[in-house]
Amino acid sequence: MTPEEIRAAFIQDLITVAPDIDPETLEDEAHLQDDLGLDSMDFLNLVNALHKRFTLPIPETDYPELATTVKAVRYLSGALAG
Amino acid sequence: MSMFVMPSLGADMEEGTLAEWLVKPGDKLARGDVVAVVETQKGAIEIEIFEAGEVAELIAEAGQTLPVGAPLARIRKPDEADKEEPAPEPTPAKVALPSELEPMPEPALMPSPLPVPDPVPGQGALASPAAKARAAEAGLDLGTITGSGPGRAVLLADVERYLKDAPSAKDTLRESIGKTAAKGKPGLDMAQLRRAIAAAMSRAKREIPHFYLSHRIDLQAAQNWLAGTNAERSPDRRLLMGALLIRATVLALSRAPELNGRFESEDYKPSEPIHCGMAVAMRGGGLIAPAILDAQEMGVDDIMAAMRDIVARTRAGRLRNSEVTLGTITVSSLGETGVDALFGVIYPPQVALVGFGAPRIEPIVHDGAVAARTCVTATLAADHRVSDGRQGAAFLAEISRLLQEPETL
């Protein structure tokens, strides 16, 4: 998968969890919890969706790597390549 | 034969809109079956039936807005099935056809859509204190009321008059409920949710003598246990700290009957079951506190599953009436990104609310030395008519003790 495809997939899972987020205006540097207002349950649902989509384990210790869209795309790209 | 009526889903509810029937005449019903969806200020609520039977007749139609208590359907009890053969024409006296229900009882509250309040201080509507209080209680914006006092100040009489003959406001409310229902997808009207919160919270602060206690709890043991447990689990089975906090609260409540129950009319009744309300923040504002029913019977994993389910259904607008009406206590947890502590307002007719601030790493004394450990501040808002500080303190101390042994939760 290209980073663009990973980004599109990530955003799709993100707006499933938080339907009020507008993908058009979403800033890639926005912090999911501090800026976009995801709570711990939303975040866990997002991790679960990504886990299912990419069949990656995504341990809790890696959660900080998913703090923003930019970071998440980098993390997922690396994990899929590795 | 019994009558299935528009249920009251909270002291502030006057009427509801039947959005959808999930049963049809002839369907067999078991106690607890969901039979209809009703649109309320708190979004769409699934309505369960509390007795077994068979649907004899649907009286109300989808889309109708009806007052609390209005008949929705006739239910034939299981043992009546045969006796009903000759279908007696004169149905029981209590049966009223929808047409007989017009004109509807005048609702006490007829909130109008709230315009954005004037943010400039001093330029808001002039009003007497009594008028302000009455308007706030009814969820009215004073700016929408024409004042008859000095300098066009709004007087109590003006508010009463407005409440008495504001049919347009009532129609608007009904229309907006109808609109959400008509879309097919049960939605949530934020202005209405705000008014429901305003009514419940105003009543709480008017009627309940709150007292507050606060206690800092060392959460490191629980945090370590959680990290270890989750490391071995896939994301769909992971736990949140919130599940541990609710579990510890529920266990501590078994020793604190004066905090778990409902204060209705003149009597406080402690509740045997613990129907633990959970404050769920709505994205876009407002919150709803549906209850995890019979939480005393659930371990941490069950509570986590119930939380996932209830949060999802709260946000999707698919709660059940038992969940919004039976709560015996509420837990409000700020989660990871919040402030140190929250001092809650009790959700009437409950008598206590437990608040958890955001867990943080703090310098505290542990084993005789200062250490950096994860801590959380737990607070209790309790009803002084029912409990005292000593009981409240013992309760928070018990939550703290339980959280030091997370593996036993």
Give B49-105 as a DSSP string.
PSS-EEEEEE-S-TT-EEETT-EEEEEE-GGGTTTTTT--SS--TT---HHHHPSPP
pLDDT at B243: 97
Is the Cβ pair A41, B234 closer than 8 Å?
no
Is the Cβ pair B242, A37 closer than 8 Å?
no
What tens digit of pLDDT does each residue of B267-324 get?
898 999 999 999 998 877 888 999 999 999 999 999 999 999 999 998 888 899 999 9
Beta-carbon contacts below 8 Å between A and B: 43
Closest of B319, B303, B324 to residue B409, by C-alpha: B303
Is the per-residue pLDDT at B168 higher than 60?
A: no
- Nearest-by-CA chain B residue for A44: B235
Spans in chain A with pLDDT lower than 50: none
pLDDT band, very low/low/confident/very high, at B371 (cuts 50, 70, 90): very high
Give the separation between CA B180 and CA B187, rounded to whole angstroms: 6
Q: For residue B308, which residues of chain A lie inside 8 Å, CB to CB?
A: 41, 45
Where are chain B's structural domains?
Answer: 2-101, 209-408
Which stretch of DSSP H or E encloses residue B46?
Answer: strand B43-48
Is the Cβ pair A61, B307 closer than 8 Å?
no
- Nearest-by-CA chain A residue for B228: A60
**Interface residues of chain B, partner chain A, Cβ below 8 Å:** 227, 230-231, 234-236, 238, 240-242, 281, 283-284, 307-308, 311, 335-337
Q: What is the CATH number of domain B2-101?
A: 2.40.50.100
Q: Give A38's DSSP letter.
A: -
Give the separation between CA B405 and CA B409, rounded to whole angstroms: 7
Decide if A55 touches B, using CB distance below 8 A: no
Find the angle CA(B331)-CA(B321)-CA(B249) to the nearest 5 degrees: 20
User: Cα B121 vs. chain centroid, distance in angstroms?
Assistant: 33
Q: For residue B230, which residues of chain A lie inside 8 Å, CB to CB?
A: 59-60
Determine the angle formed by the axes of helices B241-253 and A40-54, rounding to 10 degrees.
130
Q: Where are the alpha helices (DSSP H) in B262-344?
A: 300-316, 321-325
pLDDT at B164: 65
Q: For residue A39, which residues of chain B lie inside 8 Å, CB to CB?
A: 281, 335-337
CA atoms within 13 A on the CB side of A66: 26
Decide if A20 touches B, using CB distance below 8 A: yes
What is the DSSP track for B181-212? Answer: HHTSS----HHHHHHHHHHHHHHHHHH--EEE
Residues B79 and B118 sit within 8 Å (Cβ to Cβ): no
Q: For residue B231, which residues of chain A lie inside 8 Å, CB to CB?
A: 59-61
Q: For residue B307, which residues of chain A lie inside 8 Å, CB to CB?
A: 41
pLDDT at B187: 59
Cross-strand pairs, B320: B46
Is the Cβ pair A40, B283 closer than 8 Å?
no
Is the per-residue pLDDT at B105 higher than 60?
A: no
- Nearest-by-CA chain A residue for B243: A41
Decide if A22 touches B, using CB distance below 8 A: no
Where are chain A's structural domains?
Answer: 3-21+32-81
CATH fold group of domain B209-408: Chloramphenicol Acetyltransferase (3.30.559)
Give the separation between CA A5 and CA B149, rounded to whole angstroms: 65
pLDDT at B274: 98
Decide if A30 touches B, using CB distance below 8 A: no
pLDDT at B370: 97
Q: For residue A54, which residues of chain B lie inside 8 Å, CB to CB?
A: none
- Asked if CATH classification 1.10.10 holds for the domain at A3-21+32-81, the reply, yes or no, is no
- Model ipTM over 0.95: no
B211-221 burial, b for 16+ CB within 10 Å, e for fewer? Answer: eebebbbbbbe
